A = this chain, B = another copy of it.
Amino acid sequence: MSEVRTLKVALLGCGNVGAQVARILIDDAEALAARSGARLELSGIAVRTIDAPRDVELPRELFTTDADTLVKDADLVIELMGGIEPARSLILTAIQNGACVVTGNKALLAQDGPTLYEEADKAGVQLSYEAAVAGAIPILRPIRDSLSGDRITRVLGIVNGTTNFILDQMDTTGAQFADALAEAQRLGYAEADPTADVEGHDAAAKAAILASLSFHTRFSLDDVYCEGITKVSAADIASAKEAGFVIKLLAIAEKIDSSDNGSGISVRVHPTLLPREHPLAAVRGAFNAVFIEAENAGELMFYGQGAGGTPTASAVLGDLVSAARRLVLGGPGRTETTTGHVPALAIDASTTSYYIGLDVADQAGVLARIAHIFAENGVSIEIMRQTIHRDSGSNVASAELKIVTHRASEAALAATVEAVKGLDVINSVTSVLRVEGV
* B301 touching A303, Cβ below 8 Å: yes
Is B334 a contact partner of A331 (Cβ separation < 8 A)? no
Q: Count of chain A residues with Cβ under 8 Å from any Cβ of B?
A: 60
Cβ contact of A331, chosen from B216, B315, B322, B326, cutoff 8 A: B326
A151-B31, A300-B138, A301-B304 as given contacts; A146 in contact with B331, CB under 8 Å: no
B339 and A35 contacting across the interface, CB-CB below 8 Å: yes
Q: Does A101 contact B (CB under 8 A)?
A: no
With a CB–CB cut-off of 8 A, which chain B residues contact A331? Answer: 326, 329-332
Q: Is the CB of B138 within 8 A of A314?
A: no
Considering only residues 137-159 of chain A, those with a C-beta below 8 Å from chain B are 137-138, 141-142, 145-151
Contacts of A137 in B (CB 8 A): 300
What 1/0 flags go to A331-371 for Cβ under 8 Å of B? 11010010110000000000000000000000000000000
Partner of A337, one of B34, B145, B146, B319: B34
Are the CB atoms of B314 and A304 closer together than 8 Å? no
What 1/0 mask marks residues of chain A from 29 to 45 whose CB sits below 8 Å from any chain B CB?
00110111100000000
Cβ of A304 to closest chain B Cβ, rounded Å? 4
**A95 on the B face (CB < 8 A):** no
A72 in the interface, Cβ–Cβ < 8 Å?
no
Chain B neighbourhood of A24, CB < 8 A: 149, 296
- Chain B residue, CB-CB nearest to A150: B314
0/1 interface trace, chain A 277-317, chain B, CB 8 Å (1 if under): 00100100000000000111111111111001011011111
Across the interface, do B330 and A149 meet the contact criterion of CB distance under 8 Å? no
A162 in contact (CB, < 8 A) = no
Q: Does A320 contact B (CB under 8 A)?
A: yes
Chain B positions within 8 Å of A308 at CB level: 298
Contact in complex: B339, A334 (CB < 8 Å): no
Cα A150 to Cα B32 with chains together (Å): 9
Question: Is there a chain B Cβ closer than 8 Å to A82's Cβ?
Answer: no
Minimum CB–CB distance for A8 against chain B, Å: 17
Q: Which residues of B contact A302 (CB under 8 A)?
A: 300-303
Contact of A330 among B32, B314, B318, B330 (CB under 8 A): B330
Most buried by B among A35, A311, A320, A339: A35
- A146 to B310 alpha-carbon distance, docked (Å): 14
* A315 with B297, Cβ < 8 A, contacts A320-B149, A339-B35 known: yes
CB A431 to nearest CB in B, in angstroms, measures 28
Interface contact A145-B136, CB-CB below 8 Å: no
Cross-chain contact A305 with B297 (CB below 8 angstroms): yes
A28 to B150, CA, bound (A): 9
Q: What residues of B have a CB within 8 angstroms of the CB of A20 in the complex?
A: 296
Q: Quick check: A329 and B332 within 8 Å, CB to CB? A: yes
A168 within 8 A of B: no
Distance, CA A321 to CA B148, complexed state (A):
6
Q: A282-B282, A316-B149, A329-B332 are in contact. Are A136 and B339 (CB under 8 A)?
A: no
The distance in angstroms between the C-alpha atoms of A330 and B333, with both chains bound, is 10
From B36, B145, B149, B311, A298 is in contact (CB under 8 Å) with: B311
A236 at the interface (CB under 8 A from B): no
Residues in B with CB closer than 8 Å to A319 are 149
Say yes or no: B296 contacts A149, CB within 8 Å. no
Given contacts A20-B296, A141-B141, A298-B305, 5 further A-B contacts (CB under 8 A): A149-B318, A296-B311, A296-B317, A298-B310, A300-B305
A-B pairs with lowest CB-CB distance, top 6: A331-B331, A149-B317, A138-B146, A138-B142, A296-B314, A297-B314
Interface residues of A (CB under 8 A from B): 20, 24, 28, 31-32, 34-37, 130, 136-138, 141-142, 145-151, 216, 279, 282, 294-305, 308, 310-311, 313-322, 325-326, 329-332, 334, 337, 339-340
